[in-house]
Chain A
Amino acid sequence: MSNFKEFTKGIIKENPVLVLLLGTCPTLALTTQVSNAIGMGLATTFVLVCSNLVISLLRKFIPDAVRLPCFIVIIAGFVTLVDFLLAGFAPWLYDALGVFLSLITVNCIVLGRAEMFACKNKPLPAVMDGLGMGTGFTLALVIMATIREILGSGSWLGLQIPFIEPIGIFTMSAGGFFTFGIVIALASKLSKKSPPKNMGCAGCPNAANCAGRLDAETDLKGCVE
């Protein structure tokens, strides 16, 4: 039962993109088409589940001081695996994802879950957590891509939709920023929470040293005063 909870929390309550604000780069770059969004979502989910499993199994053997390099090497290994699989079995997707496939390595969702969850929990919950976060990521990407593809290209998953005049700007990065902002605002309106004030630093391994976090803290102080 509790394992099931680890799975569902990633989909809505702690959605990595819309609530935790992690992994924004691929969210903006790869949501021009629904097919790319699904591909990227599944590739990231695969890496996330595998790396969570391996890191959780090795959690007692990885020394604390060098854990980040270890995580990065494990993650990069699985990214290379996905690279091979896609190049072999889905070359069109491989071309569409391009450099962002390599960049799954530094996607803060994957590293963040390794740091926050996998290295502290048993393998089964870690896998469920990875599956849930991956599903939430895919879901958010598909929502973004649906809006952008319908408005920007007048189609959905490649199917032409009649009576819609494409607004080209939605396929550009400017449209991505705009759609992302609106979707986050809607999500927080529907969940009756105030929208996140700052970038999602929770998953960032360097949060302790980050200037962005320093800014965030001064903000909080301002609020209290």
Chain B
Amino acid sequence: MEGLFGILISGILTENFVLSKTFGICPFLGVSKKLSSSLGMGAAVIFVMLFATLLTHPIYTYLLVPNDAQYLKTIAFILIIALFVQLVEMFLKRFVPPLYKALGIYLPLITTNCAVLGVTVLNVDNEYSFAESICNALAGGIGFTLALLMFAGVRSRIDNDSVPESLRGVPITLIAASIVSLCFIGFSGI
């Protein structure tokens, strides 16, 4: 039990997926302009990470390992993720339109979000059990959302500041991300 809690805390705070392991930088910098879109993206990532792990972990343990085909994990995982995202999108569109409206535009983006493939590969590389994998995926998703929300807040302040011309746009955003990332280093002390 303590192990699970440790994975959860380290994934969210001390080894935050975005700010410490630098996964999923594209959506982190691309979608963090507004709080509302950050929240939608975060929710979609938590959802997909959780279910991608639910699917890939059993497939790895019960299909690839017995057949000595661990090397197929990259191909298998990315296909499962792509398929799952597509199915969820179709399902939501058909049966839960309000949720589709809220999350729909973020879902297709997630296939190529390296945080999702990263979590599933890390889970099997670290030889996590099923419960540990789920915890890790949950932590990754929550950590991603937390970083995204915090950073959206920071960015809305930058917009109003006057910045030297060469630093305008992406460079100052990256420097702000570096400062937010510094804050998370503080958690390693716990």
Closest chain-A Cβ to B90's Cβ sits at a distance in Å of: 14
Contact of B74 with A215 in the complex, beta carbons under 8 Å: no
Segment 134-190 of A: residues with Cβ below 8 Å from B: 169, 172-178, 180-182, 184-186, 188-189
By secondary structure, the B interface counts as: helix
Question: Which B residue sits closest to A172, measured CB to CB?
Answer: B185
CA distance A197 to B165 in the complex (A): 11
Is A91 part of the binding interface, using a Cβ–Cβ cutoff of 8 Å?
Answer: no
Closest chain-A Cβ to B80's Cβ sits at a distance in Å of: 12
Contact of A73 with B21 in the complex, beta carbons under 8 Å: no
Is B113 part of the binding interface, using a Cβ–Cβ cutoff of 8 Å?
Answer: yes
Contact of A98 with B125 in the complex, beta carbons under 8 Å: yes
Question: Which A residue sits closest to B111, measured CB to CB?
Answer: A206
CA distance A225 to B136 in the complex (A): 46
- The stretch from B32-40, B55-63, B93-101, B137-145 touching chain A is B32-40
How many contacting A-B pairs (Cβ < 8 A)?
A: 172
By secondary structure, the A interface counts as: helix
**A102-B73, A169-B182, A181-B174 known; A195+B117 contact, CB < 8 A:** no
Contact of A83 with B22 in the complex, beta carbons under 8 Å: no
CA distance A210 to B24 in the complex (A): 14
Is B114 part of the binding interface, using a Cβ–Cβ cutoff of 8 Å?
Answer: yes
Closest chain-A Cβ to B142's Cβ sits at a distance in Å of: 18
Q: Residues on B close to A: CB < 8 A? A: 19-27, 29-31, 33-34, 37, 40-41, 71-75, 78-79, 82, 105-106, 108-109, 111-114, 117-118, 121-122, 125, 165-175, 177-179, 181-182, 185
Q: Residues on A close to B: CB < 8 A? A: 21, 24-25, 28-29, 68-69, 72-73, 76-77, 79-80, 83-84, 98-99, 102-103, 105-108, 111, 169, 172-178, 180-182, 184-186, 188-189, 194-201, 204-206, 209-215
Beyond A106-B78, A108-B26, 18 additional contacts (C-beta under 8 Å) are: A80-B72, A103-B114, A103-B117, A105-B117, A106-B114, A107-B114, A181-B172, A186-B166, A196-B170, A197-B168, A198-B30, A198-B169, A198-B170, A199-B26, A200-B26, A212-B31, A212-B33, A215-B33
